[in-house]
């Protein structure tokens, strides 16, 4: 099955009130074209699941979704890097659900694996344990963290073939492979679409069985230029 699709066709499936996962870490490894299209379509009342928020200082990757007030709930491990999100949080227009980063990723892994939850000692004796079931195993207390899933996951890879097998590049892999398994509809945005067999099996980071659509994103050269410009503008590269 050829899973290469037009981005506009994919976005027709995304509806108001949807729960979406977005890969990336401070913009690195983020599906930029998918995010831009979500902003353009003005889909609203989203529950957004991402490991952290936007590039420090805002104005990039996830930030426009918060600026446009398209997100009603944010499930994350950290949100302080995005001024746009902080503004609507302070005004009471955004609900934020925090988890320690390791707990956040394990809840999603559990959702993808069909498990009923994950046990962790992280948060015992703190605000994190409020409202959660505690279990004692071999004399040690654990919190039961329930699984996280989404209607859609937007991930970013380096290359993908037409069957949806995704290869990652460098640290941009971050949260993407875990998110890919925990959504009803996973969209892989990539720098390059190749033929089946062009990606060596051992380099496949997300098997095509988890991917519903492959989207042509920015080329690698375009992607590098976007980040070079960003880093220069924000004083992180001279």
At residue 57, φ and ψ (nearest 5 deg) are: 100, -10
Q: Does a structural domain hold residue 46?
A: yes
Q: Does a structural domain hold residue 136?
A: no
Q: Does a structural domain hold residue 40?
A: yes
Q: What is the pLDDT of residue 237?
A: 81
Q: Does a structural domain hold residue 166?
A: yes
Cross-strand bridge partners of residue 160: 166, 193
Q: Does a structural domain hold residue 123?
A: no
Distances (CA, A) of 203 to 29, 44, 102, 160, 232: 17, 36, 25, 11, 32
Q: Does a structural domain hold residue 128?
A: no
Full domain range(s) for residue 28? 7-116+149-234
Nearest-angstrom CA–CA distance, 23 and 179: 7
pLDDT one-digit tens code per residue, 162-216:
999 999 999 889 999 999 999 999 999 999 999 999 999 999 999 999 999 999 9
Cross-sheet strand order for the sheet of 134-137: 118-120, 140-145, 134-137
Q: What is the pLDDT of residue 128?
A: 87
Length of the chain counted residue by residue:
238
Q: Does a structural domain hold residue 143?
A: no
Distances (CA, A) of 122 to 40, 56, 93: 39, 27, 29
Q: Sort strands 140-145 and 134-137 into parallel, antiparallel or unpaired.
A: antiparallel
Q: What is the pLDDT of residue 1?
A: 86
Q: Does a structural domain hold residue 132?
A: no
Tally of structural domains, the chain: 1
pTM for the complete prediction? 0.95
pLDDT less than 50: residues of the chain:
none
Nearest-angstrom CA–CA distance, 182 and 78: 20
User: Domain containing 180 — which CATH number?
Assistant: 3.40.1080.10
Q: What is the pLDDT of residue 162?
A: 97
């Amino acid at each position: 099955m050829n899973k290469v699709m037009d981005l506009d066709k994919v976005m027709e499936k995304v509806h108001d009130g949807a729960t979406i996962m977005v890969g990336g870490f401070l913009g690195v490894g983020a599906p930029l074209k998918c995010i831009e299209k979500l902003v353009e379509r003005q889909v609203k009342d989203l529950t957004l699941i991402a490991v952290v928020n936007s590039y420090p200082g805002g104005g990039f990757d996830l930030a426009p979704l918060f600026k446009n007030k398209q997100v009603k709930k944010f499930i994350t491990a950290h949100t302080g890097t995005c001024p746009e999100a902080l503004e609507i949080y302070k005004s009471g227009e955004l609900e934020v659900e925090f988890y320690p980063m390791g707990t956040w990723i394990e809840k999603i892994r559990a959702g993808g694996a069909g498990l009923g939850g994950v046990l962790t000692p992280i948060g015992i004796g703190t605000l994190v344990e409020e409202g959660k079931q505690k279990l004692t195993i071999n004399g040690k207390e654990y919190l039961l963290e329930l699984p996280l899933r989404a209607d859609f996951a937007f991930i970013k890879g380096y290359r993908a073939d037409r069957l949806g097998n995704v290869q990652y590049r460098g640290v941009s892999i971050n949260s993407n492979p875990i998110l890919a398994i925990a959504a009803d509809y996973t969209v892989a945005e990539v720098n390059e679409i190749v033929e089946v067999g062009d990606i060596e099996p051992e380099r496949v980071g997300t098997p095509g069985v988890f991917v519903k659509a492959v989207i042509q994103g920015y080329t690698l050269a375009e992607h590098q230029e976007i980040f070079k410009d960003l880093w220069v503008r924000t004083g992180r590269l001279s």
